[in-house]
Structure 1
């Protein structure tokens, strides 16, 4: 009989992660990669000492109350934990961890792609060439918004925000940011700090969101805030869909107040917002910010490191 801790991996993770997990744990893997319902999570919890889920699995207060007492740790394969009710899980004595640091560069790359794609008509241009519709050219054809030399506003200057700033500096952008607190000068690297959004938004030719989804950031970019951006600004969101009031964004696109948007996350996931697809100046990706082989391996290993520490009687490095 195995003496290894029992581990449930709820989604299909990278091959290297699954190989290591199978070596060190009595592991059950969701090879079909289907999404489990909250009821299935509750029912299956009786079989495991630990669960390694992704952001797609919901551990709200109701689920937390009904998890089997056998579950001692939830080691998330994600940085964001808005799918977890942390107080409710703590009340059950369940340790919760995440995987910070390792996905910053990959997510910042996607944010850069979204910004460039939105600014330079990537959706419309791709469609024209693919469908054989490119039969015209003139100096007025598909004129976009130049990124180099423009002002980039960043909301949330954590690891991903700082990586985005590094990328943008390579394009000669002027960096402005809003954060809960001002960064040390060495981390700012010349960026201008704004204590309020009222100060940041009017100077942001491009605005990139890199803050978590918390009660006070839900619909952070609402109708009122979007109107504070310069006319023709571009909004980029590679963080969480909950940060943006999607109806207000659509209205800002339709009115021309925003010239474009680049989105990797949506309120409804998977699926997105079908209304967005009517507008070719909204460049969209299906929440793939951290989807590189290198980053997926690193995320899986970070989650397993947390599990290893926990079952060795130590505090996991990423315990929340």
Structure 2
């Protein structure tokens, strides 16, 4: 019997054609609308493999009906949308797409940093709304980037790539990570420090850490109060790492100077969200990896993960290998 694949969002024809050479493929045929949960529940009950996005919550309830499911291929680096433990208990492989989006996401992170520091979105609106009447010495002035201190929270692949870009701006680079990286310190000239020390010293704080129970609300009121009044917070990781209520209050009250956000706790973010009302916030719709080339690489790698798992191979991007081994004993 041919293995059944379900793809939770419309993907380019070349990706689907690749899967159809070996499997029977069904797909939610919408590009900008997530698959409804009732549809996903039905499809997952008869699928051998799922190719999903971070918009799909693959939880215990869904997996209870997944009697045939052997692999969940997540088209993302993060996989907090999947109950990995529940999948492991059922012998289901979980894969992700690391590596291919590193440079693109680092580009976006630094672009967001620069746009926030130099008030680019605000300035563009100022011009388009007909408010620009003359040159003025302090009009729309922002923060300098060259030579400033940047603090990177989470020095994985993307964090290191951001550090490389910061080095080109002759920035003083601090980082906080669950473990030190002596090789990166040597190669990039960066300095390891504690979280509180990083927050106190940095002009720019970039959040690059994965979202886990340990990093949920990592940046809250207490942490924001440690930051400089001219500091800018950049988050291109996951929204839940920052307490959004505390961030709104800090920005509104001038505790910190600005924020650049590509991610929110609830996505898509509600247009009535308080953070969107602030002029010192640059907000983006989770476009960190959104270049044509990179998204195609992500989709291709997600397809390869499916192929490998359903052909009885160990996927190259397996995230629950130890978990699977433990439950199979």
TM-score (norm 1): 0.94
1:264 corresponding residue in structure 2: 262
Which of 126, 142, 145 is equivalent to 2:143? 145
On the 8 A contact 2:180/2:192 being kept in 1, the answer is yes
Q: Note the alpha carbon deviations across 1:239-297, whole angstroms, 9 max, x for none.
A: 00001111111111111121110000001101256212211110011001011111111
Q: How does 1:244-255 map to 2 (within 5 A)?
A: 244-255=242-253
> Counterpart of 1:125 in 2: which secondary structure?
helix
1:299 corresponding residue in structure 2: 298
1:57 corresponding residue in structure 2: 56
Show structure 2 runs of 5+ residues with no match. 320-329
Select between 129-138 and 49-58 the one with higher mean Cα deviation: 129-138
2:190 corresponding residue in structure 1: 191
In structure 1, C-alpha distance between the alignment counterparts of 2:222 and 2:184, rounded to whole Å: 33
- CA separation of 1:14 and 1:104: change in aligned 2, threshold 3 A: farther
Select between 181-190 and 41-50 the one with higher mean Cα deviation: 181-190
The Cα shift of 1:164 comes to 0.7
> Counterpart of 2:125 in 1: which secondary structure?
helix
On the 8 A contact 1:206/1:234 being kept in 2, the answer is yes
- CA separation of 1:181 and 1:37: change in aligned 2, threshold 3 A: same
The Cα shift of 1:72 comes to 1.0
The Cα shift of 1:5 comes to 2.2
Q: How does 1:221-236 map to 2 (within 5 A)?
A: 221-236=219-234
In structure 2, C-alpha distance between the alignment counterparts of 1:16 and 1:175, rounded to whole Å: 41
The Cα shift of 1:68 comes to 2.4
Show structure 1 runs of 5+ residues with no match. none
On the 8 A contact 2:220/2:247 being kept in 1, the answer is yes
On the 8 A contact 2:75/2:302 being kept in 1, the answer is yes
Query: Are residues 1:158 and 2:148 paired?
Result: no
1:11 corresponding residue in structure 2: 9
Q: How does 1:103-182 map to 2 (within 5 A)?
A: 103-182=101-180
Equivalenced residue count is 316
The Cα shift of 1:223 comes to 0.2
On the 8 A contact 2:148/2:172 being kept in 1, the answer is yes
The Cα shift of 1:12 comes to 1.9
The Cα shift of 1:186 comes to 4.4
The Cα shift of 1:311 comes to 2.1
In structure 2, C-alpha distance between the alignment counterparts of 1:204 and 1:186, rounded to whole Å: 19
The Cα shift of 1:15 comes to 4.2
2:75 corresponding residue in structure 1: 77
In structure 1, C-alpha distance between the alignment counterparts of 2:305 and 2:111, rounded to whole Å: 32
Computed over aligned residues only, the root mean square deviation of the Cα atoms, in angstroms, reads 1.5
Q: Note the alpha carbon deviations across 1:205-251, whole angstroms, 9 max, x for none.
A: 10000001111111111000011111210000000000111111111
